[in-house]
């Protein structure tokens, strides 16, 4: 809350009639600005007892604390009335008491950090509380550092810790967190919200003996442990019964186990003999396999000896084959060399043939060229003759020139018309392109406007669906209304700058932002009947003023406000239809509310004092200035601005309508341009056709005019060509003779080469015959070798089969030998025998009675196993578990006895503690009830206090129940935050605290503005009770804070009244002198009769 820079507050004991303990001028609490001279040092703590009780507050000092610069308060020992207008600093004294006695900042309900209690603009603050003690007063000082949000503690000017301060305060039974002792302004409403259990705990701590709350806590702990022991005993008893029942069931299982064991022993003996029988069978099989292996080994030796001669013969034949293959390779090499020589000779002969062919082709080309020259000469002569005949028949063309000149003139005129027409077409095309670009830009602007409007409508649909549906209905039914109907204000308002939307949204209520604006009452009734009654939509509607207020001028010119940082009135920040703007000016005075900047925030005190503005905005806050009903001073409330949600999207509907009209004009111009283009194209097409006709006619005339000259030029050209062809002659006979001579020379060389080639072919043929003979010999040798190898392979196959048989028999022998060893080892392991031990006599005797074959042993094993399997659900540990469970039963029985003994001890303790706690508590509650009922009876009302519990054994559910009734026609009702009115709750709270006053063992009680909601009658009655109760002998100190008092109230000689004043004309602290004030008062009194 903004405060004037020279504000001071001075609470003083003006109504106190108690003797002052020291110089009155030093006791007057004062407040000064931070720039004033330092305050005098605090007085020495009081040592005498006087009327103060142990722990009462003797002095409260504050420096840079909330509204105070420097202030010192000296309360009385009984009732202290702290009176002052709202905002003067009464509750600041309450905050000082709480924080100075190590209370939590959050308990005050104002702020959660202690730094927030330091005066704005100061870096440090101080609170000092002096408490009365018979042994010497206790001075507690708390210094607060804003930057670090830390506190520094001192006791009697010596540095200490908060924990020690809390211990000293608790030792004096001061509980600033107990609403029964300390009830600040922001916590008054919470007293009625206390549950019965919380109220009992607060009452115990406040007025009960020190041990009462301790007994209560012990009872709750004992009861919790009792419940745990009862649960434990119950669980152990149930578990013990289950164990006993289970062992009874297992007793029969144990007997069945021993019967099963007999069958298992026989199975064990059969399984012990079976490996020995199996070993003997395998040993006999091993001997048989060993004899068969020896026979096959001898057969293998004989087969290997029979293969040796065949091996030697195959080796000899292989050597012979290698010799023949070498000779064949030599012959192949000779054949290859001879063949290469033949190829070379043949290539030379082919080149000679090719040379002859080239000579013949060259001669044929020359012959063809000569024949072609003669043919061309003949053709040229004929063409010259034809051209000369045509030249003779050609007419005289001199009379064609006038026709050509006339056509040329017409063509020139047509070209000019075409150029003019094409220029117009180009201009129209450019105009059309320009118009199409303008049309595209306008359409894009319209689309952007529609997108923005859709965003606003989407926000409306998501937040207020009924309003959105009503907008759709209105757009489809505008013909039903006689005058203009505006859509919801949030859709029609268009911000000139989006960053200013927060001011408008914080100024106009959300209900009006979604309201429809009407100019006619009849239209509004038609709309609401259709939308609300028929369609059941929840919508808002408002009427625009009959006389428009949209252009109403502000009372203060904006130029006068610019010096404070204001840049505009709210009305100038946005555009809206006239009915909407008129309604907002009428209802919200937007033409009178200026908007400022951070500069305005810095000069806020000047703005409040000098401008007389009721509402205005800074960059981030809204300020409302009211006039105090009591002091006629300004009271300022500032709130932070909320972020804008709806008006951040701006749509200029007037501009959109202008764009639509512009689009229509562009479309009209485009149609006109298109019609002009069509006409010009038709004209251009006609001119083009006429131009083509004239050009064709001119071409024909020109061709006729130039034909004779062309014929003469052609005849001259042909005569020149003829002369050149006749000069280019060739001697064919000489050429033929030269070619024939060269061909004869080449044929002689060719005959020599053919003779050499024939001799080489004969040599090559002889070599081929020799190679074939060698190949035949090699084939015979290979055939013999293959036959020998086939015989050898047959013998080798027989040998491999025999060897494979030998290997299989040997492997079988080794397998059987290994199996014999394994069976022997297993048999010894089954009988637990060492490597050198023999079978014990007991096994031999048992084995004699058992079968001697595997089949008989397996059959008996199967039978015994079947018998043993009949005993299902048994295992080898069943006897062990049975024995173990018997031991566990004994152990549980002993533990259960111990638990029951412990439970009996707890029940005995509960009984003793309950007697020490419950009886005094009932007496205490009865005393409270007696006083509380008396207080209510004196007000012609009824009230009672009782100890309430649903179950006598649930000590954590005990609570104090307050029941009241304020009218004779009603029943007693429990005090709750909802059933009684605010004034009734305040009266009930106050009377309950007064009922505690005489019983209270706490040194002081604080109640802040509890009479605010009371009617005058109840306020007067409660005040009388407070005075009578708090001013009795042997009662604790009482602080009663109120902004107002009724007239003609009763006062007591023992009460102290502290007035808190503030304002720009208060005296500086160093000029405050109570004695001087008293002397001046006496002088005024003495001089009045003489006048």
Tell me the per-residue pLDDT of 943-996, one tens digit each, with 9 for 90 and over.
888 877 777 777 777 888 888 887 777 777 777 767 777 667 777 776 776 666
Note the pLDDT of residue 191.
Answer: 61
Q: Using the predicted structure, report yes or no on whether residue 593 has a pLDDT greater than 90.
A: yes
Question: Given a cut of 50, is residue 279 above it in pLDDT?
Answer: yes
Q: Between residues 159 and 182, which one has the greater pLDDT?
A: 159
Percent of the chain with pLDDT strictly greater than 90:
9
Going by C-alpha positions, the residue among 624, 606, 425 that lies closest to residue 507 is: 624
What distance in Å separates the CA atoms of residue 270 and residue 259, rounded to the nearest whole number? 18
Over the stretch 550-577, which tens digit does the pLDDT of each residue have? 888 898 888 888 888 999 999 998 888 8
How far, in Å, CA of 434 to CA of 437, rounded?
5
Rounded mean pLDDT, 457-481? 88
The residue-averaged pLDDT of 329-348 equals: 84
More confident call, 488 vs 1085: 488
Q: Mean per-residue pLDDT for 374-386?
A: 81
- Range scoring the smallest mean pLDDT among 251-255, 506-510, 543-547, 1054-1058: 251-255
The pTM for the full model equals 0.38
| CB of 105 closer than 8 Å to CB of 117 | yes
Which of 391-400, 409-418, 719-728, 931-940 is the least confident region?
Answer: 391-400
DSSP reduced 3-state for 128: strand
The reported pLDDT for the residue numbered 452 is: 63
β-strand partners of 495? 574
* The residue to which tokens 């207080």 are assigned: 935
- pLDDT tens digit string along 536-547? 999 999 999 988
Band (pLDDT 50/70/90 cuts) for residue 307 is confident
Instruction: Please compute the mean of the pLDDT values over residues 34-51 and round it to a whole number.
Output: 38
Q: How is residue 402 written in tokens? A: 């006038």
Mean of pLDDT values over 782-807 = 83
Determine the pLDDT at residue 618: 92
Distance CA 496, CA 655 (A): 13
Q: Would you say residue 107 has pLDDT above 80?
A: no
Most confident of 36-40, 220-224, 495-499: 495-499
Q: 532-565 burial, b if ≥16 CB within 10 A, otherwise e? A: eeeeebebbbbebeeebbbebebeeeeeebeebb
Rounded CA gap, 622 and 710, in Å? 105
Cα torsion through 871, 877, 882, 886, rounded to 10: 180
**How many angstroms separate the CA atoms of 851 and 658, rounded?**
120
Tens of pLDDT, residues 853-895: 878 878 887 887 777 777 766 666 777 777 787 888 888 888 8
**Cα–Cα dist 273/830, whole Å:** 9
Confidence of residue 473 (pLDDT cuts 50, 70, 90): very high
**In the predicted structure, residue 354 carries a pLDDT above the cut 80:** yes
pLDDT digits (tens, 9 = 90+) for 974-987: 777 677 776 677 77
Task: Measure the CA–CA gap between 222 and 907, rounded to whole angstroms.
Answer: 8
- Look at residue 18 and tell me whether its pLDDT is greater than 70: no
Q: How far apart are CA 596 and CA 573, in angstroms?
A: 12
Measured distance CA(269)–CA(456) in Å, rounded: 97
Provide the pLDDT confidence category of residue 14 given band limits of 50, 70 and 90: very low
Q: What is the mean pLDDT of residues 440-448?
A: 75
Q: Does 1018 have pLDDT greater than 90?
A: no
Q: What is the average pLDDT across 1042-1067? A: 80
């Amino acid at each position: 809350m903004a405060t004037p820079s020279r504000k001071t507050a001075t609470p003083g004991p003006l109504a106190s009639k108690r003797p002052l303990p020291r110089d009155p001028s030093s006791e007057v609490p004062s407040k000064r600005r931070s720039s004033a001279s330092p305050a005098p040092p605090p007085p020495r703590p009081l040592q005498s007892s006087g009327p103060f009780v142990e722990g009462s507050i003797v002095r409260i000092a504050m420096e840079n604390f909330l509204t105070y610069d420097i202030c010192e308060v000296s309360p009385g020992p009984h009732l202290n009335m702290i009176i002052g207008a709202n905002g003067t600093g009464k509750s600041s004294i309450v905050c000082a008491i709480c924080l100075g006695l190590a209370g939590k900042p959050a308990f005050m309900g104002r702020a959660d950090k202690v730094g927030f209690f330091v005066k704005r603009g100061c870096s440090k603050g101080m609170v000092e509380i002096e408490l009365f003690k018979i042994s010497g007063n206790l001075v507690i000082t708390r210094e607060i550092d804003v930057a670090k949000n830390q506190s520094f503690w001192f006791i009697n000017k010596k540095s200490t810790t908060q924990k020690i301060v809390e211990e000293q305060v608790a030792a004096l039974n001061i509980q600033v967190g107990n609403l029964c002792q300390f009830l600040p302004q922001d916590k008054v409403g919470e007293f009625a919200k206390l549950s019965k259990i919380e109220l009992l705990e607060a009452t115990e701590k406040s007025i009960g003996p020190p041990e009462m709350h301790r007994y209560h806590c012990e009872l709750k702990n004992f009861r919790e442990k009792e419940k745990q022991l009862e649960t434990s005993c119950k669980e152990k008893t149930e578990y013990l019964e289950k164990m006993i029942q289970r062992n009874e069931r297992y007793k029969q299982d144990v007997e069945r186990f021993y019967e099963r064991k007999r069958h298992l022993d026989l199975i064990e003996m059969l399984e012990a003999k079976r490996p020995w029988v199996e070993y003997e069978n395998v040993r006999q099989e091993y001997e048989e396999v060993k004899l068969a292996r020896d026979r096959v080994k001898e057969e293998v030796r004989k087969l290997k000896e029979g293969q040796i001669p065949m091996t030697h013969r195959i080796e000899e034949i292989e050597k012979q084959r290698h010799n023949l293959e070498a000779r064949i390779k030599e012959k192949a090499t000779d054949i290859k060399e001879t063949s290469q020589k033949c190829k070379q000779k043949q290539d030379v002969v082919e080149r000679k043939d090719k040379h002859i062919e080239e000579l013949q082709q060259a001669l044929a080309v020359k012959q063809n060229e000569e024949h072609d020259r003669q043919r061309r000469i003949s053709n040229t002569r004929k063409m010259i003759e034809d051209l000369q005949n045509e030249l003779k028949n050609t007419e005289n063309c001199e009379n064609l020139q006038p026709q050509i000149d006339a056509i040329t003139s017409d063509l020139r005129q047509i070209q000019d018309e075409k150029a003019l027409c094409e220029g117009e077409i180009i201009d129209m095309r450019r105009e059309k392109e320009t118009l199409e670009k303008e049309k595209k830009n306008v359409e894009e602007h319209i689309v952007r406007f529609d997108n923005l409007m859709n965003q606003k409508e989407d926000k409306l649909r998501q937040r207020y669906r009924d309003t959105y549906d009503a907008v759709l209905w209105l757009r489809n039914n505008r013909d039903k209304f006689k005058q203009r109907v505006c859509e919801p204000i949030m859709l029609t308002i268009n911000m000139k700058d989006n960053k200013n939307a927060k001011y408008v949204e914080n100024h106009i209520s959300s209900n009006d932002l979604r309201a429809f604006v009407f100019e006619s009452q009849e239209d509004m009734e038609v709309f609401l009947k259709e939308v609300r009654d028929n369609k059941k939509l929840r919508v808002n509607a408002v009427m625009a003023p009959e006389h428009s207020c949209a252009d109403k001028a502000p009372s203060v010119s904006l130029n006068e406000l610019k010096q404070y940082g204001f840049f505009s009135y709210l009305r100038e920040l946005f555009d809206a239809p006239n009915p909407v703007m008129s309604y907002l000016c009428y209802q919200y005075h937007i033409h009178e509310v200026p908007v400022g900047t951070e500069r305005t925030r810095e000069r806020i005190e000047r703005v409040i004092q000098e401008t007389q503005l009721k509402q205005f905005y800074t960059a981030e806050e809204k300020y409302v200035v009211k006039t105090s009903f009591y002091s006629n001073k300004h009271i300022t409330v500032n709130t932070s601005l909320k972020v804008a949600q709806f008006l951040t999207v701006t749509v200029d509907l007037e501009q959109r309508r202008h764009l639509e009209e512009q689009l229509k004009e562009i479309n009209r111009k485009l149609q006109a341009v298109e019609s002009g283009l069509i006409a010009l194209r038709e004209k251009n097409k006609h001119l083009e056709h006429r131009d083509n006709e004239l050009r064709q006619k001119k071409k024909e005339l020109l061709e006729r005019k130039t034909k004779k000259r062309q014929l003469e030029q052609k005849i001259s050209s042909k005569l020149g060509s003829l002369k050149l062809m006749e000069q280019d002659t060739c001697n064919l006979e000489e050429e033929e003779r030269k070619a024939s001579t060269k061909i004869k020379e080449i044929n002689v060389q060719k005959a020599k080469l053919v003779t050499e080639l024939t001799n080489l072919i004969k040599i090559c043929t002889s070599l081929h015959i020799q190679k074939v003979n060698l190949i035949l010999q090699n084939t015979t040798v290979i055939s013999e070798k293959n036959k020998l190898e086939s015989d050898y392979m047959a013998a080798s196959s027989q040998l491999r089969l025999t060897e494979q048989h030998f290997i299989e028999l040997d492997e079988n022998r080794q397998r059987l030998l290994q199996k014999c060893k394994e069976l022997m080892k297993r048999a010894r392991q089954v009988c637990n025998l060492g490597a050198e031990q023999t079978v014990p006599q007991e096994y031999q005797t048992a084995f004699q009675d058992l079968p001697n074959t595997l089949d008989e042993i397996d059959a008996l094993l199967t039978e015994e196993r079947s018998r043993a399997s009949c005993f299902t659900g048994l295992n080898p540990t069943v006897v062990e578990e049975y024995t173990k469970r018997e031991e566990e039963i004994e152990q549980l029985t002993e533990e259960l006895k111990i638990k029951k003994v412990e439970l009996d001890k707890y029940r005995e303790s509960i009984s003793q503690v309950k007697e020490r706690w419950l009886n005094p508590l009932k007496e205490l509650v009865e005393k409270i009830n007696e006083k509380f009922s008396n207080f209510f009876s004196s007000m012609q009302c009824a009230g009672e206090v009782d100890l309430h519990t649903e179950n006598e054994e649930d000590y954590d559910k005990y609570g104090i129940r307050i029941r009241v009734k304020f009218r004779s026609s009603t029943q007693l009702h429990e005090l709750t935050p909802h059933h009684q009115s605010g004034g009734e709750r305040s009266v009930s709270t106050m009377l309950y605290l007064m009922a505690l006053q005489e019983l209270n063992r706490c040194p002081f009680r604080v109640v802040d503005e509890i009479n605010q909601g009371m009617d005058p009658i109840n306020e007067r009655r409660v005040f009388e009770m407070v005075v009578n109760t708090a001013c009795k002998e042997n009662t604790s100190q009482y602080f009663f804070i109120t902004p107002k008092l009724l007239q003609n109230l009763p006062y007591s000689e023992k009460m102290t009244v502290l007035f808190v004043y503030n304002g720009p004309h208060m005296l500086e602290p160093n000029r405050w002198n109570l004695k001087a004030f008293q002397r001046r008062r006496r002088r005024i009194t003495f001089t009045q009769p003489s006048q």
